Amino acid sequence: MIAHLDPFHAISVSALAQRLAAEGRSIIRMEFGQPSTGAPAAALARARAVLEGEDLGYWESPALLQRLAQYMGDTTGVQIAPEQIVLTCGASPALVIALSLRFGPGARVALARPGYVAYRNTLRALFIEPVELPCGPEVGYQITAAALAALDPAPDGVIIASPANPTGTVIVPGEMAAIAAVCRARGIHIVSDEIYQGITYDAPALSMLAFEPDALIVNSFSKYFSMPGWRLGWITVPADLVGAARARMGNLFLTPPSLSQHAGLVALDCREELDGHIRTYARNRDLLLAALPAMGLARIAPPDGAFYVYADVGHLTGDSMAFCTQLLQDTGVATAPGIDFDPADGHRFMRFSFAVSTPLVEEAITRMVPWFQAQKVLA
């Protein structure tokens, strides 16, 4: 039996954007959730020094594990032993490891819809059944404790994300505690994707680790640390799963890039520079939110964190892929179709990433406002 995986439609949009750029078109890339800023300056300096003077082989940095344990303690309020952290080649392998640690073929794992496309497809690749829970504006587009309590039978696990992709919504502390309580009572294992931790605009997003010490925590240097191409992430696991997690990482992926580990260790101490990126995202968010009424987009998920606006365009289209493609061809602004994140209702949603520079957000708005105003409202 071979697993069937849905395509990642934003990649098709991106490929078209690249072709148009190669033809000389001015393209603004708002389709992917990746910072337009590079790695911190000190991390780049360290990487250059390493390239000039060190032999790079398979390696797991003890110093990085120690520093990550400190970082996790500072950000979660929970003391983590360095041994509980396994370095990975980004968050994607960390998710594979987390799911394979807790679930076997035929297990059932709940997740929010809309949600990150790779959750659903990674579950399917591992022959785990995705149990998608429709989450609308009335629940902040997030899984709730009540929804998990109502599932019959109880799923084997749940994937949560706060802040979430594609919506940027955050689960409030009381709801996090309630989710943890329901999961403990019903024997539901928690996998928490915390890749957007550190990128919030009002109250900070809390780690599930503060509510459930047995939760598996997936994280990465790609978002807050502005290092997506360095392919460096980590998974935090309970002490009893350390050996199994390390066996999976070693056999499936060996080690993360050694160069990235050197740079990542330095990046952890570049908080002032990195927090400056958050201020840029906040400005971009404000600009985009202010422009949405002129674009006729009134129904959006509240972007409490991450760097996305997830907007309902159902009054303009019933085909978000075609809509995003036409927007790109006409204006040069690349966005993501909602069908990646919601196979049921995503045909009437689209996602804007505002992780680009502020001047590019301003230019994108200048291009998009008249284009949206020219679209005909569906009868």
Whether residue 5 has pLDDT greater than 90:
no
Identify the residue with better confidence: 34 or 311: 311
Question: Do 9-39+272-374 and 41-270 show the same overall fold?
Answer: yes
Q: What's the pLDDT at 207?
A: 97
CA distances from residue 267 to 136, 272, 278 in whole angstroms, order as listed:
36, 10, 15
Residues near 280 by Cβ (< 8 Å), separated by ≥ 6? Answer: 37, 357, 358
The CA distance from 160 to 169, in Å, is 11
Does residue 54 have a pLDDT over 80? Answer: no
Q: In which band, very low, low, confident or very high, does the pLDDT at 53 lie, cut at 50, 70 and 90?
A: confident
Residue-wise pLDDT tens digits, 153-179: 999 999 999 999 999 999 999 999 999
369 alpha carbon, distance to own chain's centre? 27
Give me the mean pLDDT over the 185-207 stretch: 96
Per-residue pLDDT, 311: 97
Rounded CA separation 214/208 (Å): 9
Q: How many CB atoms lie within 10 A of CB 371?
A: 14
Q: Is the pLDDT of residue 265 over 80?
A: yes
Q: Could you say which DSSP state residue 46 is in?
A: H
pLDDT given at position 379? 65
pLDDT tens sequence across 217-257 = 999 999 999 999 999 999 999 999 999 999 999 999 999 99
Please compute the mean of the pLDDT values over residues 176-188 and round it to a whole number: 98
Q: What is the mean predicted confidence (pLDDT) over 82-111?
A: 98
Cross-strand partners of 158:
110, 190
Under CATH, which architecture does the 9-39+272-374 domain have?
3-Layer(aba) Sandwich (3.40)
CATH top-level class of 41-270: alpha beta
Residue 138 has pLDDT above 70, yes or no: yes
Model confidence pLDDT, tens digit, residues 319-352? 999 999 999 999 999 999 999 999 999 999 999 9
Percent of the chain with pLDDT over 90: 92
Name the phi and psi angles at 259, rounded to 5: -60, -40
Q: Which two tokens stand for residue 66?
A: 């120690």
- The strand pair at 189-193 and 216-220 is best described as parallel
Taking 90 as the threshold, does the pLDDT of residue 68 lie above it?
A: yes
Q: What is the strand order of the sheet 349-353 is part of?
A: 308-312, 349-353, 336-337
Res. 127: pLDDT tops 80? yes
272-312 per-position pLDDT tens digit:
999 999 999 999 999 999 999 999 999 998 899 999 999 99
Give me the pLDDT at residue 36, please: 87
Domain boundaries, the chain: 9-39+272-374, 41-270
